[in-house]
Amino acid sequence: MIQVAYPLVLALIILPLIVWVFSKRKQPEMSPIRTPLFNAWQSMQAQHSKANAPWLTRLLQFLAWTFLVIAAARVQWIDEPIELPASGRDLLLSLDISGSMEEEDLKLQGRPVNRLAVVKSIVGEFIEKREGDRIGLVLFGENAYLQTPLTFDLTTVKYMLKETEIGLAGASRTAIGDGIGLSVKRLRERPEQNRVLILLTDGRNNSGELDPIEAAKLADHAGVKIYTIGVGADEVIRRSLLFGSTKFNPSAELDEKTLTQVAEITGGRYFRARSTEELKEIYNILDELEPVEDQPEVYRPIEELYYWPASIAFGLMILPIFLSFLATAIRSLSNRSPVSASNKEVGNGY
């Protein structure tokens, strides 16, 4: 769609016509004194006007003025509206990648897999739904580090999640407090509204410099809401040739009390995921508790077109000069033709 940014400027198009009308009404009286020099000048002007067609020159000048006015009014092309990502939540996903996440007590598509594989699958689906949120990824084991800063680029976040491996942050211990602290530090740099941290772990804090409860207090002070998830089955049956079938609890190290306190301090909730289905349901609940903004911003690309009428105006202004040069060249050639012909006749006579 074409629009004009300054439509009132278009009124200037008729300005030359107004000037022309008033100039016609107020013609200066010519002096009655006539001299031979004046008569010669008048004759030359008449011949020049006849040769250069003044009506064409005036028309070109008027058209050039018209296009200049159109350029000054800023003609624009407005493209189709494009939806931009809504300025929704700043949401960090903090994931435990310590050695205990290798435990194969969950199933994915009917086959046993380790906990991290299930987390990648479920969290990946959750990320896809968060169009409009800034998503970031924090990983922690013995240490905590930022895998992906907050971004609207969900494809990159999913890729970095897929590339995550157990042991990248140390495999033997779990620094839950440091994971929270680093996440709060990153979220604190963002606007105060809608700062959310989703922390997933299968163990207890036994590494790092920051206690999880103290980290939760810092999060509460910074306006960060934390949802905690404890992942891992309560009971697994193992079979062996020597002892037969034995039951054990692979989540014995899970510190549910601390995770519950961390969530309550910040106004969040604690969830327990004992299976893949429960983990998926938890992320569905989180998607409802922290919905994405439903009114995305709309942007319509604008392309300036003023250079087109400006170029046409420039061409119209130089056109009379070109036509005058062309007419002069034609007259010059026509004047030379009889001379060259007479020279030929003289030569034939001799």
pLDDT at residue 41, rounded to an integer: 44
User: What was the pLDDT predicted at 204?
Assistant: 92
pLDDT of residue 280: 94
Q: Same structural domain for residues 96 and 192?
A: yes
Q: What is the mean pLDDT of residues 211-228?
A: 95
Average pLDDT over every residue of 186-191: 83
**Within this chain, do residues 306 and 287 fall inside the same structural domain, yes or no?**
no
Distance from the Cα of residue 332 to its chain's centroid = 62
**Per-residue pLDDT at 139 exceeds 60:** yes
E-assigned strand segments in the chain: 2-4, 75-78, 82-83, 90-96, 106-108, 111-113, 134-140, 144-151, 195-201, 224-231, 236-240, 244-248, 270-273, 298-299, 302-304
Mean pLDDT of the region 212-238: 92
- The Cα angle at residue 162 between residues 160 and 168, in degrees rounded to 5: 70
Assess if residue 247 is contained within a domain.
yes
Higher per-residue confidence, 320 vs 114: 114
**Percentage, residues of the chain above pLDDT 70:** 80
Q: Is 287 a domain residue?
A: yes
> Are 199 and 179 within 8 A, CB to CB?
yes
- 314 with 169, same domain: the answer is no
Interatomic CA distance for residues 218 and 275, integer angstroms: 31
Q: Which two tokens stand for residue 9?
A: 């400027």
Query: For residue 341, is it within any domain?
Result: no
- How far, rounded to the nearest angstrom, does the alpha carbon of residue 80 sit from its chain's CA centroid? 15
Whether 119 is in a domain gets the answer yes
Instruction: Looking at the structure, tell me whether residues 121 and 220 fall in a common domain.
Output: yes
Task: Determine the Cα–Cα distance for residues 65 and 16; give it in Å rounded to an integer.
Answer: 8
71 and 94, same domain (yes or no) = no
Closest by CA to 304, choosing from 9, 8, 6, is 6
CA atoms of 295 and 21, how far apart (whole Å): 56
The reply to whether 33 falls in a domain is: no
CATH number of the domain encompassing residue 220: 3.40.50.410
Range of the domain at 9: 1-25+40-80+300-319
Categorize the per-residue pLDDT at 250 as very low, low, confident or very high, splitting at 50, 70 and 90. confident
Query: For residue 318, what are the contacts with CB-CB under 8 A and spacing of at least 6?
Result: none
In this prediction, residue 36 carries a pLDDT of 57
The highest-confidence range among 117-126, 240-249, 331-340, by mean pLDDT, is: 117-126
E strand segments, 218-341: 224-231, 236-240, 244-248, 270-273, 298-299, 302-304
Asked if residue 20 belongs to a domain, the reply is: yes
Judgement on whether residues 46 and 157 belong to the same structural domain of the protein: no
Same structural domain, 105 and 54 = no
Angle at 126 between CA 125 and CA 129, to 5 degrees: 95
26 vs 130 pLDDT, higher one: 130
106 lies in the same domain as 245: yes
Mean pLDDT (whole number) for 171-190: 90
Task: Over range 187-203, report the average pLDDT.
Answer: 87
**Which 8-state DSSP code applies to residue 102?**
G
Better-scored residue on pLDDT, 152 or 43:
152
Q: Tens digit of pLDDT for each residue in 36-87? A: 544 554 554 455 444 445 677 778 778 888 988 988 888 888 887 766 555 5
Judged against a pLDDT cut of 90, whether residue 210 lies above it is answered with: yes
Q: 247 and 310 share a domain?
A: no
Tell me the per-residue pLDDT of 289-346, one tens digit each, with 9 for 90 and over.
Answer: 888 765 556 667 788 888 888 889 888 888 777 777 777 788 788 776 554 444 555 4
Same domain, 159 and 205: yes
**Pair 76, 159 in one domain:** no
Q: Mean pLDDT over all residues of the chain?
A: 82
* pLDDT of the residue at 51: 47
**What radius of gyration do the chain's Cα atoms show?**
41
Closest CA relative to residue 59, chosen from 307, 328, 319: 319
Choose the weakest-confidence range: 2-11, 48-57, 123-132, 189-198: 48-57
Structural domain includes residue 35: no
Residue 32, domain member (yes or no)? no
Q: Is 195 exposed, middle or buried (0-12, 13-18, 19+ CB in 10 A)?
A: buried
Same domain as 159, residue 135: yes
